[in-house]
Amino acid sequence: MKHTLFILGALFAGTFLFAEELDVNGNFMKTSPQDAKQAAGWTKSWSNMKDIGNVTLEKGSADGRNAVRIRTTRLLTPYTSLVEIPVTAGKEITISFDAKGKGRISDCFYVHGVAPKKEYYGRFHNKNVAVTPEFKRYTFTFKTPPAEYMDGKTKKGIPGFVRPGVCAFADSDIVIENVKVDVK
């Protein structure tokens, strides 16, 4: 029994040794050269749509750390990293972050193509969850499907990359900080 538990523990620990943590400016310390009130390397998707939520940079819970506040009214507001993770079938991408506030939140993963067709393949996200009034750690994992099967439809072209992010649902006021993205 002890031998079996040791082997299982070693396998579990080994899984985390092969994960690569990406630098996504998860403490939002770098700001955009165009707008010092926005985090560098992040974008509010669908920003041209009416009634999309508002995203602002503010001081985080720890000294020297920033946070992002997402306030939504009528529409879901995706806030995605500009880090592009190359797609291969079966790759696991884990996004984790601390969040507090009111409303509902989930991860979101945008999949985009490369040549011959640079088409958008869709947004994938896990089940959304209610956010607590105090900071809590949320973790979501996305497993990339085979190249020929994206967004529930067979497509021509090659999915090229995934951009991870956070989605705040309608009528939410949520603060996120300490974002980490791991790939294995």
Using alpha carbons, select from 138, 72, 141 the residue that is nearest to residue 109: 141
pLDDT per position as a tens digit, 34-77: 877 788 888 876 656 666 788 888 888 877 788 999 999 878 88
CATH of the domain at 142: 2.60.120.260
In a domain, 2, yes or no: no
In a domain, 11, yes or no: no
How far apart CA 112 and CA 163 sit, in angstroms, is 8
Q: How many domains does the chain have?
A: 1
Mean pLDDT of the chain: 76
- The parent domain of residue 142 ranges over 22-183
Q: Is the pTM of this model over 0.85?
A: no
In a domain, 3, yes or no: no
pLDDT at 3: 47
Do 123 and 109 form a contact (C-beta atoms < 8 A)? Answer: yes
In a domain, 45, yes or no: yes
DSSP state of 52: -
